[in-house]
Amino acid sequence: MANSGWSYEASPFHAGELAIQARLGVQERLDRQGRRMIRDYLPEQHRQFFAQLSYVLVGTVDSHGQPWASILVGQPGFITSPDERRLHLAAPPLYGDPLHRTLAVGADIGLLGIELHTRRRNRLNGTLSALQPDGFTVTVGQSFGNCPQYIQARRFDWRAFDAAAPKPVRFFEALEEGERAIVAAADTFFIATAHRSAGSASGVDVSHRGGKPGFVRMDDARRFTIPDFAGNFHFNTFGNLELNPRAGLVFIDFDRGDLLYLTGTAKVIWDGPEIAAYEGAERLLRFSVSHGYRVSGSLPLTWSAPEFSPFLDNTGPWKLKG
């Protein structure tokens, strides 16, 4: 297949994304850009990239309409592409991961293929078209690359691991000290969102967010605020939130291998003096936790210390009050 872009008359962006692009005066430019770079199939470069990965982020929605962000792990080659319109992922969900409850044929799904050590990432939104004993297959709806901004470079290695062994799981509705420490120290997390079509969740997306340690400000035990920096103006995440305020987050404790899964609602703060309190932020995202859980020692990977993104040089810490 020729490496063509978006071939449909309708925009590659949905109503929520278009509304934000119009509000910020970038819709016409983004329409041209989106038609060049967004495709309804996997270019050969993307097929090869997914095939070399050892982990991929996954966004799904549960039976209550709540998005969840997950991470799926396997040896390189666990993701294959039978053809340019399908990806097969041959790995079981990690112990306690939301994917144990959310994978279903016909469900919308979002994938983020990311290599932290090279800062490469590719997005795929599609439909779960088949469940097999070794995994599941996704049919491509949209496929596109992302820039390397705000990604902290980390190398990984495998550690001794029994995937079938139970891990400690703590369910909560408010973050306690251990969970708050993970959030407060984070320089990376992933967010899943979904827009609504005909009253149901659809068009699931999962996205990366990065910043200096402490860029996620804990407001209280159930709410925190995150700065949003200049990006590609697609507004995939914020466009979904424009139509549906529900969101799911996953934080990785890179030292312990713990995974912190959260779901709740998110609100975008577009203007006001609060934004100026964080150097480099263009807007803020305020997340309210409905519930979540922490799985201890869940991730079978060990990580190097981060090499912080040079794009963070012009961002700063929260200004202290008083």
Strands 283-295 and 259-269: antiparallel
Burial class (CB in 10 A: 0-12, 13-18, 19+), 216: buried
Q: What pLDDT, on a 0 to 100 scale, did the predictor assign at position 232?
A: 76
Q: What pLDDT, on a 0 to 100 scale, did the predictor assign at position 321?
A: 44
Please, what is the Cα angle at 224 between 223 and 229, to 5 degrees?
150
Residues 248-262 have a mean pLDDT of 97
Mean of the per-residue pLDDT values for the chain? 92
State the alpha helices, DSSP H only, in 151-208: 177-185
Structure tokens at 191: 């967010």
Regarding the domain with residue range 15-159+168-311, which homologous superfamily does it belong to in the CATH classification? Answer: Electron Transport, Fmn-binding Protein; Chain A (2.30.110.10)
* pTM above threshold 0.75: yes
Instruction: Please choose, from the candidates 94, 89, 74, the residue with its C-alpha nearest in 3D space to the C-alpha of residue 294.
Output: 94
Instruction: Please choose, from the candidates 51, 49, 87, 93, the residue with its C-alpha nearest in 3D space to the C-alpha of residue 73.
Output: 93
CB count in 10 Å sphere of residue 144: 21
Strand boundaries in 186-282, DSSP class E: 188-197, 200-210, 217-220, 223-228, 246-252, 259-269
* pLDDT-derived band at 147, boundaries 50, 70, 90: confident
DSSP three-state, residue 124:
strand
The DSSP symbol for 225 reads E
Q: What pLDDT, on a 0 to 100 scale, did the predictor assign at position 197?
A: 57
* pLDDT-derived band at 317, boundaries 50, 70, 90: confident
DSSP three-state, residue 34:
helix
State the alpha helices, DSSP H only, in the chain: 15-23, 27-37, 44-51, 99-102, 177-185, 236-243, 273-276
Does residue 293 carry a pLDDT above 80?
A: yes
CB count in 10 Å sphere of residue 186: 23
